[in-house]
């Protein structure tokens, strides 16, 4: 009875705290501006299945892709075992489905054990890549401190989780043999049991099995409630984030309605520039571009929560490769950090509270923004279809259109376009003079 109460309390607290964190995250994302991403549902489902479920973009780099696939598959399939663990915990049973499923049960648990072993190997490999080999994209400046600790913590949790699974199954294997004279026949634990638990008393075996069982479920809830504070929440957000991907051609930038309307009027020879717009036809543009996270769209904010901090975007960025300050990964990390700060402030002090800080300036510098070449390499490389470029463009729009700030070279080019109709310092009448030269 005590075991059932403890498990029920753990279940309620674990699910409740996770739900609260998901609510906070959802409310933070809803601080963003509205954007319509409900079109072309067939293409969106296809994108989600290929990119999020099928890991399509991961395999551009096959070695980390295979390692990630091992952990990903283990995470998905072991949820089957959790169903049994929940039932066992709530009703104080032991291997509820063993007798009912027979050989199929043996197959399922064996498959889970194989995937768990592969995940264990992949976990050691990832720890080595981060701390021994030190893959360049994993040790950049923005990955120091908490991001590095976060990456290692989740891997250590994985080690503990898999160790608990094999402790539970290995000890239970020896208990089952002692009681029935037969092995469960699970692929891995039929060897782990005799290797580590042979010669132990029945009492000690029961303790070891319970330590593994409780350790497993405690780590599951610890992992679940750690995710909202970690980059690893992409486990859940990868699916909606890829579903709501931008399906437009990558070179196509968004237009601001107010600007589009004014340009259209300027280009229309029949338009009356002094005419009063019909009622309901006005386009109000309160701010050009974005200064803070509340000026970005909800999809931009979802992107920031979905970022895996893998660094593929930064390692492919030509600006970063040539030594510029820009790192698309840092843009997403800064956006997420600022969003969490803004969300916490609004919940604590009220929705109208302003702390005097902003994403532009306090988190992301102008130098970073102007280093971007708008090439879309970061967008192409991201394994979960995050779009750092859209954030960069909106921040640059604010600088140019609200604060009239831009690099000297760009100011000269814009002046030439305004005066000469071209980026060069030649009038339209003189631009073809070279063709008349002898």
Residue 3, both tokens:
């075991």
Tell me if 309 sits within 8 A of 382, measured CB to CB.
no
Q: How many CB atoms sit inside 10 A of residue 391's CB?
A: 26
257-268+285-420 fold: Fumarate Reductase Iron-sulfur Protein; Chain B, domain 2 (1.10.1060)
Whether 278 has a pLDDT exceeding 70, the answer reads: no
pTM of the model: 0.87
Residue with tokens 């690099």: 407
Domain parsing of the chain, residue ranges:
2-30+61-243, 257-268+285-420
How far is residue 41's CA from residue 188's CA, in Å, rounded to a whole number? Answer: 43
**Among 224, 96, 223, 95, residue whose Cα is nearest residue 168:** 95
Tell me if 218 sits within 8 A of 10, measured CB to CB.
yes
The phi and psi torsions of 48 (rounded to 5 degrees) equal -65, -45
Query: Tell me: the pLDDT tens digits for 64-98?
Result: 999 999 999 998 888 888 889 889 898 888 899 99
CA dihedral sign, ordered 305, 306, 308, 312: negative
> How confident is the prediction for the chain on average, in pLDDT?
90
Question: Buried b vs exposed e over 46-78: b needs ≥16 C-beta within 10 Å?
Answer: ebbeebbeebebbeeeeebbebbbbbbbbeeeb
Query: Tell me: the pLDDT tens digits for 344-376?
Result: 999 999 888 889 899 999 999 999 999 999 999
Residue with tokens 């250590």: 156
Whether 281 has a pLDDT exceeding 60, the answer reads: no
Tell me if 392 sits within 8 A of 331, measured CB to CB.
yes
Sequence-distant (≥ 6) Cβ neighbours of residue 121 within 8 angstroms: 70
Q: How many CB atoms sit inside 10 A of residue 179's CB?
A: 9
Question: Buried b vs exposed e over 86-97: b needs ≥16 C-beta within 10 Å?
Answer: eebbeeeeebbb
2-30+61-243 fold: Fumarate Reductase Cytochrome B subunit (1.20.950)
Tell me if 122 sits within 8 A of 159, measured CB to CB.
no
Angle at 320 between CA 363 and CA 234, to 5 degrees: 60
**Among 219, 214, 192, residue whose Cα is nearest residue 113:** 192
How far is residue 415's CA from residue 275's CA, in Å, rounded to a whole number? Answer: 29
Query: Tell me: the pLDDT tens digits for 239-249?
Result: 999 999 999 88
Residue 18, both tokens:
């996770």
């Amino acid at each position: 009875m005590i075991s059932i109460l403890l498990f029920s309390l753990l279940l309620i607290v674990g699910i409740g705290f996770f739900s609260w964190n998901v609510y906070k995250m959802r409310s933070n994302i809803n601080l963003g501006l509205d954007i319509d991403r409900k079109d072309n549902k067939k293409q969106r489902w296809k994108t989600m299945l290929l990119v999020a479920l099928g890991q399509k973009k991961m395999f551009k780099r096959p070695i980390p892709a295979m390692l990630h696939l091992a952990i990903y598959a283990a995470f998905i399939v072991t949820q089957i075992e959790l169903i049994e663990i929940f039932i066992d915990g709530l009703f104080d049973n032991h291997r509820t489905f063993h007798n009912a499923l027979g050989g199929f049960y043996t197959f399922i648990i064996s498959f889970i054990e194989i995937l768990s072993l592969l995940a264990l190997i992949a976990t050691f490999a990832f720890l080595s890549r981060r701390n021994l080999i030190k893959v360049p994209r994993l040790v950049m400046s923005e990955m120091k401190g908490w991001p590095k600790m976060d990456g290692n913590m989740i891997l250590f949790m994985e080690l503990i989780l898999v160790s608990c699974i094999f402790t539970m199954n290995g000890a239970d294997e020896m208990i089952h043999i002692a009681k029935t004279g037969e092995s469960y026949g699970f692929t891995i634990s039929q060897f782990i049991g005799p290797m580590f638990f042979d010669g132990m008393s029945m009492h000690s075996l029961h303790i070891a099995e319970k330590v593994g069982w409780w350790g497993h479920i405690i780590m599951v809830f610890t992992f679940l409630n750690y995710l909202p504070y970690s980059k690893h929440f992409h486990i859940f957000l990868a699916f909606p984030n890829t579903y709501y991907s931008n399906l437009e051609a990558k070179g196509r930038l968004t237009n601001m309605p107010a600007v589009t309307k004014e340009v259209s009027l300027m280009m229309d020879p029949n338009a009356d520039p002094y005419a009063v717009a019909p009622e309901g036809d006005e386009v109000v543009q309160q701010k050009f571009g974005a200064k803070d996270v509340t000026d970005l769209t909800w999809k931009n904010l979802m992107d920031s929560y979905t970022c895996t901090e893998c660094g593929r975007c930064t390692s492919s960025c030509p600006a970063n490769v040539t030594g510029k300050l820009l790192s698309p990964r840092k843009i997403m990390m800064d956006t997420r950090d600022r969003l969490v700060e803004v969300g916490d402030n609004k919940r604590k002090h009220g929705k109208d509270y302003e702390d005097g800080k902003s994403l532009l300036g306090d988190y992301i510098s102008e130098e970073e923004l102007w280093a971007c070449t708008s090439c879309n390499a970061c967008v192409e490389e991201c394994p979960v279809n995050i779009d750092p470029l859209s954030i960069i463009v909106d921040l640059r729009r604010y600088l140019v259109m609200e604060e009239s700030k831009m690099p000297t070279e760009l100011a000269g080019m814009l002046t030439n376009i305004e005066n000469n109709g071209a980026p060069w310092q030649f009038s339209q009448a003189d631009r073809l003079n070279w063709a008349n030269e002898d």
